[in-house]
Each structure stands twice: as structure tokens, then as C-alpha cells.
Amino acid sequence: MTYQEEYAQALGERVTFDPQILRSYDHDLGEMPGVLMALIKHRPSVVVAARSVGDVQQALLLAGKRGIPVTPRGQATSGYGGAIPSKGGLVLDLSNMNSVLSVDAANATVDVEPGVVWEQLSKDLAPHGLDNRVCPTSAPSSTVGGWFAMGGVGIGSLRYASIRDNVLEIDVAGLDGAVTTYSGQDMDVFHQTCGSLGVITRLRLACRAAEHLTPYALWLPTAAKVASFLTEAETVLEPYSASVQSSGYCAMRAEADGHPPVIEGGFLVSLAFLGAGATRDEVSRLTLAHGGKLLLEMEAETEWADRFYPMRIKKVGPSALVGEFYIPLEGFSACWRELTATLPKDKLGLEAFAVKGGRLAVLVYILDDAGALLYPLRMAKAMIPLHVAARHGGKAYASGMWFAAMAEKIFGPGKFARAKRQKQKLDPRGLMNPGKLKGPGLPFLPFVSLSRLILFGTALIAPVAARISYSRHNAS
Amino acid sequence: MSTSGHALRQPEEYTMKELTNAVDTCARCGFCKVSCPTYPFGGGFETFSPRAKVYFLKDYYEGRAELTPEWVDRLYRCTTCERCQSVCQTAIPLVHLWEGIRSEIVQKGLGPMPAHKKLRALAEEFGNPYGEPATKQSQWMLPEHKPVDSAELLIFGGCTASYRMPPMLQTGVTILTRLGIPYAYAGGREQCCASPLLRTGQLETAEGLIARNLDLFASTGARQIVTPCGGCSKTLKHDYPVWAKKLGKSFDVEVLHFSEVYVRLIREGRIKPVKRVEKTVTFHDPCHVGRSQGLFGEPREILAAIPGVRLVEMPNSREQSRCCGAGGGVKANYPQMAAEIARDRVNEAIATGADMLVTMCPFCQGSFAQAIKELGASIELSGLEALLLESVTP
């Protein structure tokens, strides 16, 4: 019996080998040049749309038996390549495993399948008096399992830190079909590793009490003032969530929406408080103390309502180069200064989320056109923000596939070593999401990591790329 | 946040370059996938999502993919409910993309679907997709209805209301009659508004029907056209001005859905709902009335004006309203999928605890009537105007 026959027999209509369908699973959010994609086997040969843990177990057992690489996938709402196959094989689509399994209102926890979508979960928790502690800005579509497997911060991270800090327990299915429960440090290695150690089939999340959120918006003149304001606000005002947008980003949004920008210079800071939280006077006083100005309630409401729409700026792109990094607040001002000096020809848009403990997760947008001739060259510019941030205490946001060569730095050496040991123990043949711990090898030079090559190549090209701006969106 | 309210143009107004540019701006965020009512019927595979369809169109426009029979089928499995468009991060005119590619499919002889071809044949022969003779078009009229030969206001019944689901049309005209508002009606000469043909890409036949209707409207001298149908009102409001320009015909009229007329009359104090209607109701926003025309407040204003009516909203209401499953030619060619979508919506209505599901589109009403029967549910179904009429009738 062929592997196709075995899969069809075991999973019926939940499996497909249709090339037209497979095409939908060979990419994610990122717009990578074809030449780069050609270096990996990014198109799967089989897709299973799993509906249950049983489906996952069946799919994994067969993959293990046949030696087929497996790439788990949520909604593929990240651009790091974590959900893109590097060696073809099987894509395990988990987006249909989207049930809330149980809610423990007394202990404020919820057990969910990995494909549960954040925004829907918030709605499902409401009748129990609970809500998500954190969620990504892609909450209307991204999945709980996907965000945990990728790692990240977002709305609520100023109070509740990262997704890792809000997951209490997970179930993981292995290539032997067995499902194991992990928590604490044992669970850590499954966070950020994109399912390269196993497929997450259940997560237990800590929730917060459902409360009305009160938003505020304020203007601050400089990055230094943003840093000092957020440092003080975290302890004095105790906001639930805080985000920062540069005036350049506000201008991009305004162009996309066809209305005047909310600020003309400096930075826009949006805060959200649980319940009544700090009073308007308290927020205003702190804002004034840092040389800023509190904006109108209506503007605050609009910003909060738009929190899930950061990518609207692509409407005027049509593409966007995105550099993403963590930076300690004390390094933010110098980093921003150097970044704007390094890319003088481009209009830069910055969006950032404040993270508990004095950090920012920063996205830097440069509008471009993926169809343009020089786009592959200009793509190297997306690495410049990270290079600059590293000089000011920053580090990469996530690894996925494209930045897998930086995994050790991103995870920390201890966790990286544990992940490697676990990989050796659970998946010695390297079938689970290959290429996500150290980057996939090149087709004819398998010992050379594509991720390392990308990092090396972009570092080499970046100074040249910095001098080439996309004419439609240059700074002049 | 939603992008509804963005000024969207009609498919014919977009150049190929604009459409390809729109496709290029896709953020691949998948908000459309989660909101799509037909995606779940694709076995759970990404390829059936609007996001994947946009990705396919990018491949197709750039010459990397072909319109295979499978892709043609997927592209027709869409009710044109506009939910995808209303959540799109980059405000891509998605429904225009779907309608645009469908017309290209038809032009290339690769479509439409079999049931849509029948609709076209009937519309060409009878002027309506139900294949009914023109003599039957006025049969919905009640003895008290007294249209005049010429009036500022023209009733456009629409095929579904005229031939299949007359209560909304009948009640609307009864209200106008009792208020002494003069109206004209061109029963027997009215052609299908062409919505089913435009949505399924059959522009050639649509053009003929639209041209005949434009001539008819001009001959009546009407300044306003009112219709009870979501599809007709959307088409007359949004498509006709474009086609009139293209055909070099005049179309200087105001198009109104009946709900807009009721609201005006209530605000003017000409409709005075006084009789209590003790009902707990939930309201279904028809896609082509709500998202297409932005008429979310009007039906709620009417319900609020009726004493005794208590409105409980479904979790998915207004801009987030779910589809009845019938639009875009889906009910004609994929009846099982349409029926299941309608049952899901009726179940959502039942879960609110309401006594009655209220809507204001005969197409939706038809779908829900069937769904309620299939479910054996006890929830009542009513047109909005029936409640209004009950409340104004002594």
C-alpha cells in the first residue's frame, strides 16, 4: 500500500493530495522572493485537515512509520516561516480543531484545542465572566496553539507578559501517536519551537476577569519621552496594555484610510486600563510631566477599536518590509535615532507593544512593492532594524524558519540546549517541522543553513539596500 | 473595526491593473477566512477560504495558474455576502474580485454553474429567473392596492417577492396605500433586476434586462423607486448607475429599500405605531441590505418604534451578521450548502430566546422559512413590515 492509500484509508476526506490545495499551504504571511523559496521544498505533498486528537495521532503515526516530515500549521499568520514546510511532506492543518474544551471559572482557566481563534475565545469566555489575558493583534484569525508555538507578545503584555507566561499546561502528540502532558519548564521547549518537538493538541490558559477596558491616547514628543513615560506608567498607573506608534506610522495609516493623521510628529501612545483603572486626570498629569499631551476620548476609542488592524498600511504599499525586535526601554531612544539615521531615504513606520518588565516589542515598517525588480535587494533592509537594535540591547522577536540560526540567542542558551536534547529524544530522525531549530540546509549543501546564509547575506547587502528606496514611498 | 463604508466601485469600474494591485495588498491575515460562511464547507482546507482565493487570483493574474474546473467551482461557492470585505485589513474590494473573475469565467466559456445557466435561460425567455409568465407578475396585489399611472414613487416588486415570497411586498404596498401615498407599478413589464446574473458573471444577459428596466423607469417618470428586496435594492442602487452610464441611458432616480421609506414616514409622524405587539424578536440583517447599503440603524429604529417589541440581538449582528446562504447564486447551485448556512443562522436566532426571527428581504425570508421547517423549530418568522402594519392597524 502506498503512503497515499494509507493516509486516505486512515483519514478519509480529511486528507488531500490535490496539487491545487497543496499550493495554499506553501507560504505564510511573508512575501519572500521566489529565489529564496526555491531553495527549500516548501510545497507539501499531503495535507491533513485534522478535526480531532485522533486525527493528529493517525497522521503522526503514519508520518513516523513512513519517514514523512510534518509541519503543523494554525492560521499561518506569522511571517517567520514557522508554518512553511522546508522538506515538503505533510502539513497538519490544525485550524479546524477549534473547540473550547472546558472552562474552570473558579480557577480562571480554560482548556482549548490548538485551533481556537483568540477573538472568538474572548467571546466564548464572556458568559463565564472571563477574558483572555493577552492576545496578538491578529486575534480575529490567529490561533492559540499557533501563537504559543511561535511565541510572542501583544495586547495585555504590559500586565501579563508573553503568551508563554499565560499557558499553564499543554498536551503534545508525538510521532509515536502518544499524547503527553507538559507544564512548567518541561513545557518551555515547546514554546517558540514551531511544533518541531511535537504537535500541541490542547492548551490550558490562565484567564483574567472580564472587565470593561478604558482606553486613553496621548502624544509624546520623542522616543526618549516615550521610554521615560512607559517606565513610570508601568508602576504608577499600572495599565493593562500599552502600544506606541510613530508619527510616520500614523501617516501611513492615515493615507490608507484617507483621513488626516492623528498626530503630526513625535509618537502616539495608546493605553488601556482594566475597569475604570487610572483616572483621566492621573493619566493627563503623567503625560504632561513627560512633555506630552492627552488626546481626546474619541481619538482614544478609535485607536483601541483599530487595534487589530495594523496591516492596513499595506493598502498603500502594496507590500511592507517589516523588521521586528525586542528592545529594553532604556535603549529605545538611541535605537530609534540610529535607525532613522541609517535609513534616511525611507519613510519609516514604527509600532510597538510594551511588555512587562520594561521592554518593547517593536515592528518597523518600510512600504515597498514585492513585484518590483529591486525588491529582493531592498528586502535586506528588513534586517537593519534588528542589527541596530542589537547594538542597543535588543534581540530578535522570533525565529521561525528564516531566523532559526538565531534560535539560541532568542530562546536563551539553556532553553535552546534543552530543546535540542528533547529533539534528539523525541524526534531523532528530524521529521517534526524540520529546519526550525537551526534552519533548513541548502539543497546541494545540506550542511549550510539557509537561515545562516540569509543572515550573512542580508548583513552584507543591507548597507547597499539602505541606499535604495522604493520611489513611491521614499522620504523626500 | 471594519472597512464597510469605504466607497467601493462596481467590478466594471476597476481596471485589470487596479484589481491586480488590490490582490497584491492582501496581508494574508486570514480575517476573511474566519468570517466566511462558505469556507467551512470545503473540508476544512485553506484553499476554500477567501484568503486562498485571493492568493490564487494573484497566481492567475500573473500567469502561474489556470482556471481549472475545481477553481471555477470554488469561485462560485460564495454568497457575495461581503463579510470578507468588511473585515479585510487592506480594504480589498473582495466581492468585486469574485464577481469580476466570475464574468471572466463566463467569457471564457468555463462557467457559470449549471443552475446559473438555467437562470439565464429563463431570464432571457421570461424576463425573470423563475420562468413565470409576465401575466403573473401582479398577482401578489391585494384588492385594496391602487397603483396610479404616473407617480413620483415607483414600486419595483422584484422577482422573488412578486412570484415566490409576496408578503413583504404586499404589506409594504398596503402601508403606502393606507397612508394615501400615491405610487405607480409597472406590473407585467418589470424585468428581473439582473442581480442573479450580475453576481454569477453573466453580464451579457444582465445588460439586456438592465437596459429594458432603465427604459421602463424612464417611461414612468418616477423620481423614486422602492423595493422590498435586498438584492434588488443593492443592484438598483449600486449597479444601475454604472450600467446606465455604460449604456448611455438616463437613471436619475433615488432608489430606496422599503425600510428607508418606513423610517422616513415614522420620523415625519405619518406612520404612528400605537398598538402593542408583545413579541421578543431578533433581527437578521440581510447582507445586501446591511453590509451592501449600510442600513443597520433603520430596521432597529422601526422595531424600536413599535410598542411592546423587545429586540434581542444575535451574537453576529449588524456588520458581523451572518449570511442566510442564498446569495451569489449559491442557493441555486449549491442548495444543500445554502440550507445548512440558513439552519446555522436560524439556530443562532433560536439561541437568543426570541419568539420571532424578523428580517427584511424576501430571499432571506424564503431561506429561513425552509430552515425552520427542516429544523422543526417553533420560532416564528416575519417580515419587519408585518409587525409595523400590525402596530398601525386599529
Q: What are the residue ranges spanned by the domains of chain B?
A: 11-107, 114-263, 272-392
Closest CA to A72 of A202, A200, A235: A200
What the block records as the C-alpha cell of B254 is: 433615488
E strands of A221-316, at which residues?
241-246, 267-274, 293-294
pLDDT band at B9 (very low <50, low <70, confident <90, very high): low
Is residue A193 over pLDDT 80?
A: yes
CB-nearest to B45 from A75, A93, A138 is A93
Fold of the domain built from segment(s) A213-398:
Vanillyl-alcohol Oxidase; Chain A, domain 3 (3.40.462)
Asked if residue B119 lies in contact with residue B331, where contact means CB atoms within 8 angstroms, the answer is: no
Q: What mean pLDDT do residues A102-124 have?
A: 98
| Residues of A with Cβ-Cβ distance to B91 under 8 angstroms | 256, 312, 315
- Residue range B35-86, pLDDT digits in tens: 999 999 999 999 999 999 999 999 999 999 999 999 999 999 999 999 999 9
Q: What pLDDT shows up at residue B13?
A: 64
Angle at A30 (CA atoms; ends A28, A31), nearest 5 degrees:
115
A27-31, A370-374, B186-190, B364-368: range with lowest mean pLDDT: A370-374
How far, in whole angstroms, is CA A357 from its chain's centroid?
A: 19
Is residue B249 over pLDDT 70?
A: yes
Is residue A183 over pLDDT 90?
A: yes
| Residues of B with Cβ-Cβ distance to A117 under 8 angstroms | 34
The alpha-carbon gap from A447 to the nearest alpha carbon of chain B, in Å, equals: 32
Q: What pLDDT shows up at residue B393?
A: 76
Q: What number of other Cβ atoms are within 10 A of residue A359's Cβ?
A: 26
Interface probe for B, chosen from A42, A73, A122, A141 (most Cβ of B below 10 Å), is A141
Is residue A476 over pLDDT 50?
A: yes
Which CATH number applies to A100-209?
Answer: 3.30.465.10
Q: Do domains B11-107 and B114-263 have the same CATH topology?
A: no
Q: Where is pLDDT greater, at A228 or A468?
A: A228
Domain B11-107 has CATH 1.10.8.50: no
- Residue range B15-25, pLDDT digits in tens: 777 777 889 99
| Residues of B with Cβ-Cβ distance to A93 under 8 angstroms | 44-46
Is residue A213 over pLDDT 60?
A: yes
Task: Name residue B255's amino acid.
Answer: V
> Is A95 an 8 Å CB contact of chain B?
yes
Fold of the domain built from segment(s) B114-263:
Rossmann fold (3.40.50)
Q: What pLDDT shows up at residue B115?
A: 98
Q: What are the residue ranges spanned by the domains of chain A?
A: 3-93, 100-209, 213-398, 404-465
How far, in whole angstroms, is CA B209 from its chain's centroid?
A: 17
| Residues of B with Cβ-Cβ distance to A141 under 8 angstroms | 29-31, 33-34
pLDDT band at B178 (very low <50, low <70, confident <90, very high): very high
Q: What pLDDT shows up at residue B141?
A: 97
Q: Which residues contact A414 (CB under 8 A, 6 or more apart)?
A: none
pLDDT band at A470 (very low <50, low <70, confident <90, very high): confident
The alpha-carbon gap from B47 to the nearest alpha carbon of chain A, in Å, equals: 5
Task: Name residue A66's amino acid.
Answer: R
pLDDT band at B11 (very low <50, low <70, confident <90, very high): low
Which CATH number applies to B272-392?
Answer: 3.40.50.1860
Is residue A74 over pLDDT 50?
A: yes
Closest CA to A225 of A298, A179, A286: A286
Identify the closest residue of chain A to B49 by CA–CA distance.
A24
% of residues, chain B, pLDDT over 90: 93
Is residue B255 over pLDDT 60?
A: yes
Q: What is the ipTM score, two decimals?
A: 0.96
Q: What is the DSSP string of B350-392?
A: HHTT-SEEEES-HHHHHHHHHHHHHHT---EEEEHHHHHHHHH
Q: What pLDDT shows up at residue B3?
A: 39
Closest CA to A437 of A95, A82, A4: A82
CB-nearest to B70 from A20, A315, A319 is A20
- Residue range A407-443, pLDDT digits in tens: 999 999 999 999 999 999 999 999 999 999 989 999 8
pTM value is 0.95
Is residue A279 over pLDDT 70?
A: yes
> Is B351 an 8 Å CB contact of chain A?
no
Q: What pLDDT shows up at residue B7?
A: 42
Q: Which residues contact A460 (CB under 8 A, 6 or more apart)?
A: none
- Residue range B79-118, pLDDT digits in tens: 999 999 999 999 999 999 999 999 999 999 999 999 999 9
The alpha-carbon gap from B354 to the nearest alpha carbon of chain A, in Å, equals: 18
Cross-strand bridge partners of residue A366: A321
Q: Would you tell me which residues 68-97 of chain B have a C-beta closer than 8 angstroms to some C-beta of chain A?
A: 68, 70-71, 87, 89-91
Is residue B6 over pLDDT 70?
A: no
What architecture (CATH level 2) is domain A3-93?
2-Layer Sandwich (3.30)
Q: Which residues contact B231 (CB under 8 A, 6 or more apart)?
A: B158, B160, B193, B195, B196, B288, B327, B361, B363
Asked if residue A226 lies in contact with residue A269, where contact means CB atoms within 8 angstroms, the answer is: yes
Asked if residue B356 lies in contact with residue B280, where contact means CB atoms within 8 angstroms, the answer is: yes
Q: Where is pLDDT greater, at A158 or B62?
A: A158
Distance CA A368, CA A364 (A): 13
- Residue range A315-332, pLDDT digits in tens: 988 899 999 999 999 999
Is residue A225 over pLDDT 80?
A: yes
Residue reference for cell 471555477: B72
Q: What mean pLDDT do residues B301-321 have?
A: 97
Mean of the per-residue pLDDT values of chain B: 94
